[in-house]
Every structure is written in C-alpha cells, then in structure tokens.
Amino acid sequence: MASTILNESKRDEKDQEIVTSFIDFLNEAVSPFHAVQAAKDILMIAGFIELNEADGWEGQISPGGKYFFTRNYSTIVAFAVGNDYKPDGTSGFTIVGAHTDSPCPKLKPVSNLKKGGFEMLNVQPYGGGLWHTWFDRDLSVAGRAVVRRGGGGGGGGGYEHRLVRVPRALLRISTLAIHLTSAEERKGFAPNLQNHFVPALATEAREKLWAEGAGAAATAAAAATGDGRHSPLLLSLLAEELGCDAGDIEDFELAVCDTQPSATGGAFDEFVFSGRLDNLCSSFQAIRALVDSSESLASEPNIRLAFLFDHEEIGSVSAVGAAGAVSVETL
C-alpha cells in the first residue's frame, strides 16, 4: 500500500509539473512569434541545437543529435535523430504536427482609425474564431516588430526582428449598454465584424493633449514617415516596450490578445482556463513529447520530428504553412 501511494504521489508530482509548464507556455505564447520563442526555450534547455535554414546541414547532423530551426519566426521544426538511423532508405521518419497560430483580431496594415471621438485600431478577424467572446475583455497587443538598428531614427545599421507585447489592459471592444439595444438585437448577438469589432485605444481629446505634450516626439516621428498608417500613440507604446524611439519602428505584425492569464480551475484544478488552446495544447505536447522521449534515442532507427506550423487558421497555403514546402524541404 505504501508503495502504491508513493507511486501515485510521484505521478501526481510529474503531472503537476507538466500542467505548470503548460500554463507557463500558454501565458508566454500570446502570438505565433511568442509561441515559437517559448518552444525554442524548452528545446534549448533540453540541449537541442539551433540550425540555420540558409546554411548547409551536411556534417552538422549526426545520429543521436537533437536539432531545430525556425522559419519566419512563426514556424518551428524540431527533430531528434535516432542512434540507429541509417541513410540507406531502411530508416524513416516519425512525425507529429501542430500549429502556432490561433483565431484572433489582427491589426490591419493601416491600423490608424479615428471614429466617434475615439482613437481606435483597425483590425481584421484572423481564422475561425468565436468572435463574441472577444467583447468586453481587457485586451492588448502582441507580435513582432521590425526595428532599425542603431536607434535615433537614422537607420544605416540595418534592421532586426524583436518580439513585443504590451502587458497591460490597453484595448477594449465594447458592447452597447442594454438601454441602447433593441429586443431583437438582444435575442441574438450578431456583430458586424467590420464596423463593431474595432477596439478603442484612447479618447481623441486625451490623445490630442498627449500629442501636444509628452507625445510630441512620437507624433513628429510618425509625421516624418508621411504615411500615417499607424497611430503615433500606438507606436509610442510599442517603442516603450521595445526600448527604442518610435521613429525606429519600421513595421510590425501584431495581434490583439487577452491580458487575463491562463490558469487551472475547477474544484480539483482539473480544468485549464485559457484562450489559444487551439492549437497551443498540441504544440506544447509535441515539443514536450520530443524532449521527454530523447532518452530512448539509443534504440531508435527513425528521425523523430515535431512540426509547429503557422497559418493553419487561414488554410496553411504559405511558405510557413503545412501545405507549403517546409515539411518536404526538411525531410
């Protein structure tokens, strides 16, 4: 009996470690770019070696080795070579696939929008989402930015990719008060995703005061670009997180994300309360399975691979999607 209880206790500890790691992964992976970085962190701690797609891999890969590479910072491929792998055609591949993207509102290429006295962000629905669940939540933005090296808005040093996330309640997609809706509207919530699905960033009055004071430099930098695609206020908020000048942000790819952290719940903590479970649950499991099974590579004749693709939510037909060439090129 004591042995049985001890074994159950050890199993519970292992289960809890996996759950805790999963929750941490979900809280980190607020965009496909962050999901890839979170997967990279797990792999590198486990001793996987990062490869560059642009380099020749001949001589870099050997039986018993563990490797990964990324494409576009939003797709990651990890693999472990069995010690008994033979390149003569008698060995093969063991493959698990998942995806890093989830349904969300994404900022449009021209996100700057003023409407009804509010500074707003133009967004478009990405993927097959339950869009009514995004209303009346504390939202923010996360993704990646392309930033000029060297700073000072002068350029000349090239560009670099950086992850960015504003970790506070920044946006709100509001529903109307009950007094402003009809009985027919209350029977079924059917928002127009072009007109009603636009998050508010600030009031125009408060933004104007900011632009004339603390935000003067950011406003001037945005005006210098001449395109007005994005709000100077948004650029200033991103620059604060990136540690650069607003004028050094060349471009970005951002998604709206929920600021409520993922958590376990229920009477026995048996539930995971979180967004993005489609498909970060499978992504985490694929990476953990590849890492945890590495101890058995000594008797493995195959190459074990985990593909975490981007763009599944919009059909996968892209250079980083499952219907693209990344899987064939890897094999």
> Read out DSSP for 47-77?
TPEE--TTS--TTT--TT-EEEEEETTTEEE
* Cα end-to-end span (Å), the chain: 49
Q: Higher pLDDT residue, 88 or 94?
A: 94
pLDDT band (50, 70, 90) for residue 56: confident
Does 104-258 match 16-102+276-330 at the fold level? no
Position 27 scores a pLDDT of 98
Position 181 scores a pLDDT of 87
Q: Is residue 154 scored above 70 in pLDDT?
A: no
- C-beta atoms surrounding 267 within 10 Å: 6
Which stretches within 48-194 are classed as H helix?
A: 183-187
The model's pLDDT over 19-31, given as tens digits with 9 standing for 90+, comes to 999 999 999 999 9
What mean pLDDT is predicted for residues 93-98?
Answer: 98
Pick from 39-43, 84-88, 181-185, 272-276: least confident: 181-185
Q: Taking the domains of the chain in order of start, what are their residue ranges?
A: 16-102+276-330, 104-258
pLDDT band (50, 70, 90) for residue 152: low
Local structure of 211: helix, strand or coil: helix
* pTM of the predicted model over 0.85: yes
What mean pLDDT is predicted for residues 285-301?
Answer: 96
Q: Is residue 6 scored above 50 in pLDDT?
A: no
The model's pLDDT over 222-235, given as tens digits with 9 standing for 90+, comes to 666 557 899 999 99
Angle at 126 between CA 123 and CA 127, to 5 degrees: 160
Q: Residue type at 188?
A: G
Angle at 74 between CA 48 and CA 137, to 5 degrees: 120
Q: What is the CATH number of domain 104-258?
A: 2.30.250.10
What mean pLDDT is predicted for residues 185-190?
Answer: 85
Cα–Cα distance for residue pair 284/313, rounded to 1 Å: 18
The model's pLDDT over 157-171, given as tens digits with 9 standing for 90+, comes to 799 999 999 999 999
Position 2 scores a pLDDT of 45
Q: What is the CATH number of domain 16-102+276-330?
A: 3.40.630.10
